[in-house]
Structure 1
Amino acid sequence: MRDTADEHVEAWGDELPWLDPVQEAIIVRLAVLGRHLTQARRAALDAGGLEHGQFKILLMLRRGRPPYEAGPSELADRLGLTRGALSARLGPLEEAGLIERSGMDGGDRRRVRVRLTGAGNAAFERHATTENRGETALLATLTPAERDTLADLLRKLVLSR
């Protein structure tokens, strides 16, 4: 069975005799799968009416334990954003009812908490479920042992960087 990576390697094999065909096939296949996952995630976000940055905020809030809340500075740090960039992303989420900002107990209005609402949690669940279905379908062709092997090999590559 041949794929586009085989065609790519074959096309370049004569032009670049120094090219390692196995290495090139691996890199091309990783790129193809990366594009596939990116497109599938984008489609899932579009279907749910979320932007990538908005979903990441919901994700970061949901990663914690109930009541799924964090301070703006903590969220900005986790997401690698400036405080201003985070604030700009929080506004539309708050207007959509997906998050709420509230003052800390004790009345200190300088300290704000960002909390995932019920609607925000439902939006997160819908998107995560849709994304998971696509990922499951992608990996369905592999046996459980093959998935374990692939996960181990990819971990080894990630840790080497």
Structure 2
Amino acid sequence: MQDDADRLVDVWARELPGFDPLAEAIFMRLHMLGRHQAQLRRDVLEAGGLQHWQFKVLLMLRRNGPPYTASPSQLADLLGLTRGALSARLAAIEDAGWIVRESDAADRRRVHVRLTAAGHDTLVRHLGGESHGERVLLAGLDEQDRRTLAELLRRMVLAAEDQP
């Protein structure tokens, strides 16, 4: 059975001398799967009334572990945002009830952003929907195939990270 990658690789193999059809098929399929996964994520976010940037803020707070707090500057650094850009985003997320900004008890000038129970629930619902989408994409592989694929991709990532 052929997929779109097979058809495109066949065309390019005829047209380009020195073309590596195996490498092209691998990277084309990785790209195609990435697009499918991104669309599944957008669908889950949209269904839950959550925007991607909101999800990322909630995810960063959750990733910090209990008590799920961070300073605005820590969050900005984690998200690659300026402090001003983050401040505007936090206001919208706070209005939704997903976070609270609290003054530090020891130093009132310091602020902590904390994930609320509603924010936690919103994040968990989204992650559950995303996990379902990932299971759909992996449905054609058994457990051993998944382990093999994960290991092969790990080796590729480690090799890429080792490059200057």
Q: Into which bin does the TM-score normalised by the smaller protein fall? A: over 0.9
Cα drift, residue 24 of structure 1: 1.0
Gaps of 5+ in 1: none
- 2:50 and 2:108 map into 1 onto residues whose CA distance is 29
Cα drift, residue 109 of structure 1: 2.4
- 2:104 and 2:113 map into 1 onto residues whose CA distance is 10
1:150 alignment counterpart: 149
Cα drift, residue 21 of structure 1: 1.0
| DSSP 3-state at the match of 1:113 | strand
- CA deviation vs aligned residue, 1:6-55 (integer Å, no higher than 9, x gap): 10011112111211111111111111101101111111111111111110
1:118 alignment counterpart: 117
Q: Is the aligned partner of 1:93 residue 2:96?
A: no
| DSSP 3-state at the match of 2:102 | strand
Gaps of 5+ in 2: none
- 2:102 and 2:55 map into 1 onto residues whose CA distance is 20
1:137 alignment counterpart: 136
1:3-82 to structure 2, matched below 5 A, reads 3-82=3-82
- CA deviation vs aligned residue, 1:118-153 (integer Å, no higher than 9, x gap): 110110011000000110121121111111111111
- 1:94 and 1:116 map into 2 onto residues whose CA distance is 9
- 1:27 and 1:74 map into 2 onto residues whose CA distance is 34
User: Normalised by the size of structure 2, how large is the TM-score?
Assistant: 0.94
1:159 alignment counterpart: 158
Deviating 4+ runs (over 4 angstroms): none
In the comparison of the two structures, how many residue pairs are matched?
160
- 1:159 and 1:84 map into 2 onto residues whose CA distance is 35
Cα drift, residue 64 of structure 1: 2.1
2:105 alignment counterpart: 105
Q: Which amino acid aligns with 1:11?
A: V
